[in-house]
Each structure stands twice: as C-alpha cells, then as structure tokens.
Amino acid sequence: MARMRAEEKKPCRILSPTLLFILFILSTLPAFAGDEVRIDTGVLKGVVAGNVASFKGIPYAAPPVGDLRWRSPQSPAPWQGIRAADQPGAMCMQTSDPFAGTAKPPPQSEDCLTLNVWTAASSRSAKLPVMVWIHGGSFHNGTGAAPVYDGSALAGNGVVVVTLNYRLGRFGFFAHPALAHETPQGPVANYGLLDMIAALRWVATNIHAFGGDPANVTIFGESSGAAAVNRLMIAPPAHGLFHRAIQQSGNGREYTPRLRERNPDGLASAEDSGKEFAISMGVSTDDPAALRAIPAERILAAGNRTAIEGGPVIDAVTLTMEVAEAFERGLEAPVPFISGSTSLELPIPPGMLEQTLARAVTRISAEDRQAMTRGYASEAEFKRKFLSDLIFREPARFLAAAHAKNGHPTWLYRFDVLSTSMRAMLQGAPHASELAYIFGTLKTMRWAEDGDDPQRSSEIAARWTGFAERGDPNRAGLSPVWPRYAADKDLILDFTNAGPVVRTTPDVLELQGIAATY
C-alpha cells in the first residue's frame, strides 16, 4: 500500500517546448492530412485539396450482380491494405449521360453501389452535420459523381457531404412473382430505395471517421431524388436513419404502382408488367435464376414500355401507401422539413406546348380544366405555367402544409434565380437550375455565370447548411428571417435575382385551382 501511495504522488512530467510545438502543429492539421481513413471495411486513401478532403468510390454494399441482382443490398466485403478513393465508382446502368459533356463519365456497370464523401472536419471528433444527397434523373439515370454535385464547396461551409449511386430503371425497380415467392416476407421491387437505406446505414456506421455526426443527418434531393426523399420520409425501414429532410421539386401527388393490385383506371399491377417484360426477354417461367440470367445489356436496351415501369412500387414492406396519403394521415417522419420548387419548372417551347399539355390533361375532365383555368390570368398563362404548377409547385406546397399541420417544423421556398444572360430567354427558373447554386458548382451550368451568381449561391447554400446544422435554416447574419410555414399565413422564402424575399406564395389562385381537382 505504501508503494502505491508513493507512486500516486509522482509528479507529472513537463513536456519539452519542442514536443509541445510538435503536438500543437499536429492538432491544427486536418484529420485527413494523412489522406487515410479507416472505416468498418478497411482503410481508404483520399485526396486533400485546400481544406477539404474527398473520398470517392467507396463501396457501401456488395455488387448487386449475379445472384444478388434484384435482391436487397448486402454488406460490402472488407479489403486488405489501403484502398485508393480518388476516383468515383461506376455509374449504375442507364441510357443517358448525366455528365452532359462537362466531364468524361465513369463506365457503367451493375457493380455500382458506391458513394463519395467530402469533409472539411479538423478532427475525427468534429461531429459536423452530415448532408446525404440523392440525385435525380427520373429513377432511370444519373449518378452521385456528376460534376454539378461535387461536394467541395458545400463541405467548406462546415458540413460533411455524401453523394451516392443507387440502382436505376428495371435494375432498381422491378417486380415479378418469382422474386416475391423467393422472399415472401421480405421487401421486393424497390431495390433502388433499399440501396439508399443501405447507404444511410453505412453513414450511421462510418461517417464519424470523416468527422461527421451520425446523430445529425440531413437527406436532400431534387426531382426523382426528392421523390425518393419523400418516400424515405414514409418508409418504415428508413425510420431513425435521418434527422432532417429537404425535397426540391419532388412532386408528392404522383401515382405509385402497386405490387399486385390494378388501379381503378385499369393500369396493370407492377407484377403484371414485370411478367410481360420477362416474357419479352424469353423468360416465361417463375424461375428467379432465369430472370437473373438475362444479360444486363438486353434489359437496358428494352427501355420502359409503360409509365409504371422502372420506378418505386407500393410493396407493403418498404412502401405501404402513397406519399400524399401518408402526409395527410401524419405518418411521415417527424423531422424538420424544407419543401419547394423552381419558379417555372417546365418552360416548354411553344412548338411542343399544345401536344404536351394535351397528354397531361387527358384524364382531367373539361369541368375540372375550366376550374383550373379560372385561377390563371389568361389562357396563355395557364398554358405556360400549368404543368409546372401541377407536377411540382402545388405538391411542394401541399407537403409543406400537411407536415406543418402535423406539428413539425417546416419551411417552404421558391427558387427564381436566373443568370443575367438567361433572363431574356426564360420567364422563370427551370427544373434543376438551383443545383449549381446549392453546391457552389456554377461553372457546370448550361449558361455562363454572371456577377450576381456567387452571391445568390452563397445565400441558398447558407440556408441549406444552417438547416443541416440546427434543423432551422435561419442563423445569425442571415436576412431576412425565414418564417416557418403555416397554411393560414402561407409565407415562403422566395430566392430571387435580387436576393431572398419573404412573401406569400405567388400565384396562389392558380395552385388552389389545381388542388381542388385532387
């Protein structure tokens, strides 16, 4: 006992000035200055540029090939040694080029379940907010590695940015009785959504290694990526995997095919369509192995023959109901939520206008069409704005109103920013035009940026990252204060060419006229 007391009284050693200086220098270096991060499957070597480190092409699930095609994503295999993480992984199978000539795209492959991480954390214990991006592309094309989604600038605002690939088209959304019989109690059809959920589980397990906080995850997406956000809000397997959500132009009123039931208008069930497709590929049996033996190139070349093929399905496990129904019943995730759209999502050229409008209103009665038209200043205004309002603007407002009514913090926005050179050509901001502003990737825009664009970009990026940090898009120094949405006040933040402005929803009579027909 005497010896123990003597040892306890030993004085602490004083560190030498040289050692103290070395420790100080090490403490100020980025956590990833050594370029290496250890995650649950092995060590990654990334790239440091300025104060942001990036790690690309990280497998978050096993390759969904061979016997794993049309199955729930499985855990990725660990690796030995150091894995280079300086290049994005392959794009998932698709027919279009999401890079749009801005860069050479990666190759395509069914082996595509990878993600990318950007972080400016100064240490692994930084606990920065995490923003997980879900790309758009009608559930048929796109990649988290597209240049417009480069997370460097956004991460520089004090968040960890994650972008991901998920299975697309028939590879990601496909129903067939053989697959349902194979896993009678498990999820089927929504393999792309299950990929997103697997990526969120990867984030929960590994993001701390990049200085991110697994208890503060925001999902955000645009177009079909936002439609995916809306569905993750109502998907039981996604419960608890995220803590805030932003949907940008994600509809919310659209019809979702069901696994087996036909809808009242006679559309075939998802399984019926799947069987018809399999027969067209020469597979008439209920043999899963025969389905998986169809060459990927033949599946891709077949395209989609009907509107219900190649998208999310109500399968009673991953998705149990429509997005609109879930929000109306208060069954969505009780998390802070931002909803919105651009000001003129679909600026349809005059030569295509009549034909496009005719297709859109085939299921709308003449009486309902007349009621809708009354909300617009003229027939010309109706034709110019109707499709944008029907598909994007009214549903964004509807989701915000329902979520707010259910007692959850909600904010509604409209994006109406256009570069000076485009203001004479377009009468509003088109679909997806906000992306380069949020990510700070203005050089990827289809038109040249002008002097105001960097300021407009910093304004919306600050709102998005502030929301990710605190669940509120307001922070000190930001003006004006963005009020929470409530249907009775109907106040939104309008991102305009002159800066953000608080106002009531523009064109509210137009939107109410549309809502009355649902």
* pLDDT value, residue 12: 38
Q: What number is the average pLDDT over the span 272-293?
A: 95
Higher pLDDT among residues 430 and 359, named by residue:
430
Q: How far apart are CA 102 and CA 146, in angstroms?
A: 9
pLDDT exceeds cutoff 70 at 496: yes
Confidence check: pLDDT of 75 > 60? yes
Q: What is the pLDDT of residue 14?
A: 44
Q: Is 90 exceeded by the pLDDT of residue 479? A: yes
Q: What pLDDT, in 10s, does the model give residues 351-402?
A: 676 676 666 666 667 777 777 777 888 888 888 898 899 899 999 999 999 9
CB-side neighbour CA atoms (13 Å) of 4: 1
How far apart CA 42 and CA 89 sit, in angstroms, is: 17
Q: What is the 3-state secondary structure (H, E, C) of 182-199?
A: HCCCCCCEEHHHHHHHHH
The DSSP line for 315-363 is: -SSS--S-HHHHHHTT-S--S-EEEEEESSS----HHHHHHHHHHHTTT
N residues, the chain? 518
Q: Is the pTM of this model over 0.75?
A: yes
Q: Which of 240, 271, 246 lies closest to 258 in space, CA to CA? A: 271
> Looking at residue 32, what DSSP letter applies?
T
Mean pLDDT in residue range 81-97: 93
Average pLDDT over residues 436-445: 97
The residue behind tokens 């939520």 is 337
Instruction: With a cut of 90, say whether residue 18 has pLDDT above it.
Output: no
pLDDT average, residue stretch 486-498: 97
The residue-averaged pLDDT of 455-483 equals 97
Residues 6+ apart with CB under 8 A from 351: none
Kindly report, residue by residue over 185-238, the tens digit of the pLDDT. 889 999 999 999 999 999 999 999 999 999 999 999 999 999 999 999 999 999
Contact 93, 109 (CB under 8 A): yes
CATH number of the structural domain 29-335: 3.40.50.1820
Q: Tokens 């250890």 appear where?
A: 38
Indicate which residues carry an active-site annotation: 223, 345, 431
Can you tell me the mean pLDDT for 35-58? Answer: 96
Residue 477: pLDDT above 50? yes
Q: What pLDDT does 24 receive? A: 41
Question: Quick one: average pLDDT of 137-166?
Answer: 97
- Per-residue model confidence (pLDDT) at position 15: 45
Mean pLDDT of 447-463: 95
Strands 173-174, 36-39: pairing is unpaired
Longest dimension (CA), the chain: 98
Distance CA(329)–CA(313), nearest Å, equals: 20
For residues 85-112, average pLDDT: 84
pLDDT band at 25 (very low <50, low <70, confident <90, very high): very low
| Range(s) of the chain covered by CATH 3.40.50.1820 | 29-335
Residues 178 and 287 sit within 8 Å (Cβ to Cβ): yes
